[in-house]
Amino acid sequence: MWAYFLRRLLYAVPILFGVSLVVFSLFHLVGGDPATLLLGKHATAERVAMVRAELGLDRPMYVQFGDYLREVVTFDFGKSYTTREDIRDKISHGIWPTLWLSVPAFFLTAILSLSIALVVAYFRGTIIDRAAVIFFVLLMSLPSLAYILFGQYILAAYKGWFPISGYGASFQEKVYYLSLPVLISIFLNLGSDIRFFRNSIIEEINQDYVRTARAKGLNESLVYLKHVLKNSMIPVITYVVIQIPYLVLGSLLLESFFSIPGIGGMTVEAVNNSDFPVLKAMTTVISVLYILTTILTDVFYRMVDPRMSFGKRG
C-alpha cells in the first residue's frame, strides 16, 4: 500500500509541473502586462517600467517560471500586488470562513442526497420515483442567483427568519449568520446529487447478483442495504470525493452576496484587481487538492471493496 502511495505521489510531480507551466503561461503570456493593468492605460512608460522592475516582471521568462516553481514547492507566493499583504496570510485568514460555510454544507448535502436517493430508488418505477425525479430536475434547472435572491429577499428581508448578510466572531454568531448560506448551498447541489446517486443505485439493483440473492430467498430490505448499497458506493464515493476541491472556491457567489470574508471573496477581488499572485496561488491550491483527492478516492475504493488491488491501479 505504501509503495502504491509513493508511486502515485511521484506520478503527481510531472502533473503538477505541467499545471504550473499552463498556469504561468496563461497569466504571463496571455493575461497581459500586470504593470499596465495595475497602473491603467494612461500611465507613462517610465512608471510602467518602474513597476515592472519592482514586481520582477522585467526578468527573462525562464527566470520568472523558475521563481514560480519555487513558490509552488514552498507555498510562498510573495505579496499581493494590490494590498501588499503576504498571500499565505491572506489565505490563512480567508480559509476559515470558507470552511465554516462549505464543510457543513458539503456533509449535510452528501448525507441528505444519499438518504433521499436510497428511498427514491427503493420506490423505482412508482409515482413517488417519477415525482421525485421531476422535482429534483426542477431544482437543478434554477440558477444559483435565483436561490440567493430568494433567500435574501424572501427568507431574510421579508420574513426575517435569517440575517441578510454578515459573519460573526463567536460560534453562535457564525451559526446565526451562516445558516442561510449553508441552506442555499444544500439546495444548489441537492438535485444533481440525488439524481446521480439514484441512477448509481438503480444500476446496481439490475445486476445479476441481486437477482441471485432474491432467488435465494433473502429479504428485500437485506438485499437492498447489504448488497446493493455497498456495491453502489464506488461511483458515489468518486462523485463525493471529487467535489472536495470545490470546498475552497465552490462558495464564491455565496461569499460575495453574504459578505463572508472567505477565499471566494478574496478570489473575486483578485480577479477585479488583476492581482495575479493571488490568482496563481489559488489555482495552484486547487490543482494540488485535485491530485490529493484522486489518491484519496482510491483509498476509499479499497475501504469499500478490499478485493481491489493497489498494485493494479497505479
Asked whether residue 81 is domain-assigned, the answer is no
Mean pLDDT of 104-121: 86
What is the spatial distance between Cα 164 and Cα 166, in angstroms, rounded to a whole number? Answer: 7
Domain final position from 74, 101, 122: 74
Handedness of CA 117, 118, 123, 125 (dihedral sign): positive
Domain final position from 74, 107, 129: 74
Q: How confident is the model at residue 260, as a pLDDT?
A: 83
The answer to whether residues 128 and 206 belong to one domain is yes
Asked whether residue 19 is domain-assigned, the answer is yes
- Between residues 233 and 94, the one the model is more confident about: 94
Asked whether residue 80 is domain-assigned, the answer is no
Q: How confident is the model at residue 257, as a pLDDT?
A: 82
Asked whether residue 245 is domain-assigned, the answer is yes
Q: How confident is the model at residue 256, as a pLDDT?
A: 78
Query: If you average pLDDT over every residue of the chain, what do you get?
Result: 78
- Looking up cell 482510491 gives 298
Q: Which domain covers residue 198, as residue numbers?
A: 93-304
Asked whether residue 314 is domain-assigned, the answer is no
The answer to whether residues 56 and 104 belong to one domain is no
Lowest mean pLDDT among 3-12, 98-107, 162-171, 194-203: 3-12
Q: Is the pLDDT of residue 2 over 70?
A: no
The answer to whether residues 61 and 182 belong to one domain is no
Q: Is the pLDDT of residue 314 over 50?
A: no
Q: Is the pLDDT of residue 44 over 60?
A: yes
Strand partners, 79: 86
Residues 6+ apart with CB under 8 A from 72: 16, 20, 284
Mean pLDDT of 233-242: 75
Q: What percent of the chain has pLDDT over 90?
A: 0
Asked whether residue 110 is domain-assigned, the answer is yes
The answer to whether residues 14 and 124 belong to one domain is no
Q: How confident is the model at residue 1, as a pLDDT?
A: 60
Mean pLDDT of 41-49: 73
Q: How confident is the model at residue 312, as a pLDDT?
A: 47
End-to-end CA distance of the chain: 11
Asked whether residue 50 is domain-assigned, the answer is yes
The answer to whether residues 12 and 157 belong to one domain is no
Give the CATH number, domain containing residue 118.
1.10.3720.10
Asked whether residue 187 is domain-assigned, the answer is yes
The answer to whether residues 166 and 42 belong to one domain is no
The answer to whether residues 103 and 241 belong to one domain is yes
The answer to whether residues 269 and 195 belong to one domain is yes
Q: Is the pLDDT of residue 308 over 60?
A: no
pLDDT in tens, 148-193: 888 888 888 888 888 888 887 788 888 888 888 888 888 888 888 8
The answer to whether residues 69 and 133 belong to one domain is no
Q: How confident is the model at residue 307, as a pLDDT?
A: 54
Q: Is the pLDDT of residue 277 over 70?
A: yes
- Number of domains observed in the structure of the chain: 2
The answer to whether residues 63 and 101 belong to one domain is no
Mean pLDDT of 60-71: 82
DSSP string, 171-183: HHHHHHHHHHHHH
Mean pLDDT of 216-220: 69
Q: How confident is the model at residue 38, as a pLDDT?
A: 67
The answer to whether residues 51 and 196 belong to one domain is no
The answer to whether residues 109 and 171 belong to one domain is yes
Residues 6+ apart with CB under 8 A from 281: 71, 77, 87, 91
